[in-house]
Amino acid sequence: MIHIWIRSTLDWEDEAAFKSQLRPNLVESVELWNQAFNIPFHLFRHRIREISRLNLAKVDGAVCTVWDEIPEGSLVVPVDDDDWFAPNLATTLAQEQETDFQAYFWPSNFLEVPIHLRHQLGRFRRTLFPSTPAHFLCTTNNYAMIKGPETKALLTKHVSASQWFKSNTNRVKELREPLSMMNRTLGSTTSMGEKRPPFARQKLLLSFLRYRQLYNRRASPELDWSQPYREMMAALMHEL
């Protein structure tokens, strides 16, 4: 059995709980969101989580489990509460598992609007030169590890996981199939400027228009499994 571990346990429906855990540098951005849109920020994130849960329920041979209930030695795939997996994720990992390997990764796929110019230039570069190496081997949900004493920290932070993967290549197996999608929404903490000054209303609305266009695009053939969830996101953006 493959275990899916959802990192976030925040109850987005509970506005008071959400506000109590809101990082101080996001307070102004959330207030701006609530003034600009029809759906309050915390309920928008709740709706996105529900779309993700629909997706996770379609993954054959996997179970969503809280960390302390995952047996040692199990293969664990981490995910945020807004991202998606291919329905054959678990069956593919089960077929690829070998005793010599402690970790697995596959190509990262991103459904996103660039958050700044440097990000956009990096995307252009990878489009023009597909062989450009990825900055990180591990991103939000494109890797899996056998649960052990050190793995929770690595499954929590993809940057640390990437460093571990690069230092332990003999224990890591690379897969070729696109098994996941990182859905960086308009309401993600990165998009909301978690590490930057609060953005202006004009920038927020411009990003909103770009996201509406993004979700209206058809998925590429190898990612066709993500199409139903793209359509759900398109409907949510229309309602917003």
Q: What are phi and psi of 23, to 5 degrees?
A: -65, 140
Give every CB contact of residue 35 below 8 A, 6+ residues apart in sequence.
Answer: 201
The answer to whether the CB of 77 falls within 8 A of the CB of 141 is yes
- How many domains are contained in the chain? 1
pTM confidence score:
0.90
pLDDT digit of tens for each residue in the chain (240 aa)?
Answer: 899 999 988 889 999 988 888 888 888 999 999 999 999 999 999 999 999 999 999 999 999 999 999 999 999 999 999 999 999 999 999 999 999 999 999 999 999 998 654 545 455 455 555 555 567 799 999 999 999 999 999 999 999 999 999 999 999 999 999 999 999 999 998 888 755 556 688 889 999 999 999 999 999 999 999 999 999 999 999 999
Q: Distance from first CA to last CA of the chain, Å, rounded?
A: 38
At 71 the pLDDT is 96
Indicate the Cα dihedral angle 185, 5, 95, 50, nearest 10°: -40
Question: What domain range includes position 89?
Answer: 2-239
Q: Extract the tokens encoding 91.
A: 């069956």
Q: Give SS3 for 78.
A: strand
211: its two tokens: 């996201």
CA distance 73 to 86: 23
